């Protein structure tokens, strides 16, 4: 090997010297700056080829062994043939491990001066070949995905993306609604604050209605429709007249007592259904006699409930029938079809109980036209009464009875529900006496009594700064229905 060094002022001149001395196929080994010039170390092409060839007597010059799996020879003979030339380390490696796909490269030609080396053949035994084949067969095949699996994965990814997008959209819509409600509340506060300063009679009417127990939504609606240029007294008379016209009542008892039929008193526990049934039964007996009336009770849950109605029936001389389900009720009504009036005392169920739906379904599927009368407790809050009406309404109510009027501190709450829900008010009950404490509903009397009960707390219940806030909250209520102004 002959490495030559060439120096020149520039790289071009140094390369020209290399080409002239070693030929165009010379191999450049290094190129660096030295003493203001360029120094190149180069090697001739023949010398570079001799570096790539292995030494004649080195292990790399021997040809690689080839594997022959077709011919089986004794293992001892194969070991004897490999013994003179195999290294101990190579022999220990090949003994435990068996390679079936060992590549057989082309043997490198030896120099002409040396004799050709014989090709060595490593022959595997039948037992090792069988074990290798069994291991290859037991190896798991690479997992592959077909078109259906890929389509299912894509569909799942798309569905997940849609679900995430829907959740984000729902959150965004919730934030927009909250922002809208906040803006409406603030605008309503500003509007009512201006109205209170410009039209003080409206603030007076608002205080009266809120103190009587009417809802802020109904009060706001009527005050917005209040005619202009009226003082506080004229405004209150107009409000009372509108409320009286919108309170639907029964003009006389002919619609119930004279017409007759099947009536079921429904409502939550403790609203006075059994007592109201006894009062109605007494009125029917006084009008038509005990032979024209029948009493049915479905209250088999409360202790003494059946006995309480049976005592009333014994006093009136009326038979009391007990039923448990829709089949019993159907049979009982079929047997009592010749009666002029049939009164059904139902079991009291909370408005949030699933049994309310079952009770309404039982009465509607009894095979007769059962008119349901809802008993509304005058002492309950307005939110509770709204829940009761929504739960017991079903396909419609024939009417309602206002109970415990004598115990209520304010009755505007129950009158508000009756007006907004468009219920027909038949009777009002103001005591436990049978049948004295049951009266026909008088709209003018009830509205006037609603405003008289809380007259002493009109100016002390709410501050001036609280009125705009109350009216802004009332604006969000959706239970407001159309009120006829007349």
Q: Which residue has the tokens 């802004």?
A: 472
How many angstroms separate the CA atoms of 241 and 418, rounded? Answer: 16
Which residues are CB-neighbours of 418 under 8 A, at least 6 positions away? 247, 248, 376, 400, 402, 425
Residues 48 and 27: beta-carbon distance below 8 Å: yes
Residue 449: in which H helix or E strand, if any? helix 443-453
Backbone angles phi and psi of 108, in degrees to 5: -75, 130
Q: 406-411 long-range contacts, Cβ below 8 Å, gap at least 24? A: 406/430, 406/431, 406/437, 407/378, 407/379, 408/378, 408/379, 408/453, 409/379, 409/453, 409/454, 410/211, 410/212, 410/213, 410/450, 410/453, 410/454, 411/213, 411/378, 411/446, 411/449, 411/450, 411/453
96, pLDDT greater than 50:
no
Residue-level pLDDT at 316: 86
Distances in Å between the Cα of 409 and the Cα atoms of 211, 375, 436 are: 11, 18, 22
pLDDT band at 80 (very low <50, low <70, confident <90, very high): very low
Residues 341 and 260: beta-carbon distance below 8 Å: yes
Closest by CA to 378, choosing from 206, 213, 209, is: 213
83, pLDDT greater than 50:
no
DSSP string over 170-190 = HHHHHHHHHHHHHHHHHHHHH
Q: Which of 402 and 141 is assigned the larger pLDDT?
A: 402
Residue-level pLDDT at 306: 67
What interhelical angle do 147-198 and 467-474 show, nearest 10?
140
Residue-level pLDDT at 127: 56
Q: How many CA atoms lie within 13 A of 444 on its CB side?
A: 4
Residues 279 and 438: beta-carbon distance below 8 Å: yes
Segment 101-155, tens digit of pLDDT: 444 455 555 444 444 555 445 444 555 545 555 555 555 554 555 777 788 888 8
pLDDT band at 376 (very low <50, low <70, confident <90, very high): very high
Tokens found for residue 94: 């090949």
Mean pLDDT of 181-204: 68
Residue-level pLDDT at 403: 92
Closest by CA to 294, choosing from 337, 333, 343, is: 343
pLDDT band at 469 (very low <50, low <70, confident <90, very high): low
70, pLDDT greater than 50:
no
Mean pLDDT (the chain) is 75
Beta-carbon neighbour count of residue 7 at 10 Å? 13
How many angstroms separate the CA atoms of 210 and 416, rounded? Answer: 11
Residue-level pLDDT at 401: 92
Residues 345 and 276: beta-carbon distance below 8 Å: no
Tokens found for residue 378: 């005058």
Residue-level pLDDT at 455: 64
Q: Which fold has domain 248-440?
A: Rossmann fold (3.40.50)
Residues of the chain with pLDDT > 90: what percent?
5
Mean pLDDT of 351-361: 81
How many angstroms separate the CA atoms of 322 and 255, rounded? Answer: 27
Q: Dihedral, CA atoms, 359, 362, 365, 367, nearest 10 degrees?
A: -120
Q: Which of 255 and 243 is assigned the larger pLDDT?
A: 243
Residue-level pLDDT at 74: 44
Which residues are CB-neighbours of 385 under 8 A, at least 6 positions away? 376, 377, 413, 414, 417
Segment 272-329, tens digit of pLDDT: 888 898 899 998 888 888 888 989 888 766 655 567 788 888 888 888 888 888 888 8
Q: Dihedral, CA atoms, 20, 24, 30, 36, nearest 10 degrees?
A: 40
Q: 431-438 long-range contacts, Cβ below 8 Å, gap at least 24? A: 431/406, 432/275, 434/275, 434/278, 434/279, 434/282, 434/312, 435/278, 435/279, 435/280, 435/282, 435/283, 435/286, 437/279, 437/406, 438/276, 438/279, 438/280, 438/283
Q: Residue 435, preceding bond cis, omega within 30 degrees?
A: yes
Tokens found for residue 354: 């699933």
How many angstroms separate the CA atoms of 243 and 239, rounded? Answer: 6
Segment 49-59, tens digit of pLDDT: 666 565 566 55
Residues 330 and 377: beta-carbon distance below 8 Å: no
Residue-level pLDDT at 22: 84
How many angstroms separate the CA atoms of 290 and 318, rounded? Answer: 6
Distance of CA 484 to the CA centre of its chain: 39
Q: Which residue has the tokens 């009109």?
A: 458
């Amino acid at each position: 090997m002959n490495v030559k060094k060439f120096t020149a002022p520039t790289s071009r001149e140094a390369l020209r010297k290399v080409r002239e001395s070693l030929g165009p196929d010379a191999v450049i080994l290094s190129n660096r700056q030295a003493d203001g010039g360029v120094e190149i170390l180069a090697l001739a092409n023949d010398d570079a080829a001799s570096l790539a060839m292995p030494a004649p007597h080195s292990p790399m010059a021997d040809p690689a062994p080839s594997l022959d799996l077709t011919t089986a020879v004794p293992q001892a003979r194969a070991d004897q043939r490999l013994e003179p030339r195999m290294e101990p380390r190579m022999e220990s490696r090949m003994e435990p491990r068996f390679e079936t796909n060992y590549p057989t490269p082309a043997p490198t030609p030896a120099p002409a001066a040396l004799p050709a080396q014989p090709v060595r053949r490593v022959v595997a035994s039948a037992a090792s070949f069988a074990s290798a084949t069994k291991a290859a067969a037991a190896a798991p095949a690479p997992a592959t995905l077909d078109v259906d699996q890929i389509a299912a994965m894509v569909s799942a990814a798309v569905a997940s993306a849609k679900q995430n997008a829907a959740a984000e959209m729902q959150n965004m819509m919730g934030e927009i609604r909250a922002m809208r409600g906040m803006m409406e509340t603030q605008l309503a506060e500003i509007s009512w604050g201006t109205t209170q300063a410009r039209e003080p009679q409206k603030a007076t009417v608002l205080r009266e209605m809120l103190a009587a127990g009417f809802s802020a939504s109904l009060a706001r609606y009527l005050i917005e429709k209040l005619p202009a240029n009226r003082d506080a007294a004229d405004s209150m008379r107009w409000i009372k007249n509108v409320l009286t016209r919108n309170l639907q009542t029964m003009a006389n008892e002919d619609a119930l007592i004279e017409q007759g039929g099947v009536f079921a008193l429904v409502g939550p526990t403790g609203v006075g259904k059994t007592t109201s049934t006894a009062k109605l039964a007494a009125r029917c007996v006084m009008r038509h006699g005990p032979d024209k009336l029948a009493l049915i009770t479905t209250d088999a849950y409360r202790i003494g409930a059946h006995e309480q109605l049976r005592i009333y029936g014994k006093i009136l001389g009326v038979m009391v029938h007990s039923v448990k389900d829709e089949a019993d009720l159907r049979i009982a009504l079929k047997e009592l079809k010749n009666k002029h009036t049939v009164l059904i005392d139902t079991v009291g169920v909370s408005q949030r109980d699933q049994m309310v739906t079952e009770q309404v379904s039982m009465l509607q599927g009894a095979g007769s036209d059962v008119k349901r009368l809802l008993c509304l407790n005058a002492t309950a809050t307005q939110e509770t009464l709204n829940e009761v009406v929504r739960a017991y309404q079903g396909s419609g109510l024939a009417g309602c009875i206002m109970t415990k009027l004598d115990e209520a501190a304010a009755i505007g709450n129950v009158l508000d529900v009756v007006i907004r829900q468009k219920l027909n008010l038949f009777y009002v009950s103001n005591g436990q006496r049978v049948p004295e404490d049951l009266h026909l509903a008088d709209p003018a009397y009830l509205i006037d009594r609603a405003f008289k009960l809380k007259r002493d707390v009109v100016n002390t219940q709410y501050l001036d700064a609280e009125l705009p806030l109350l009216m802004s909250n009332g604006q969000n209520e959706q239970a407001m229905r159309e009120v006829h102004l007349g």
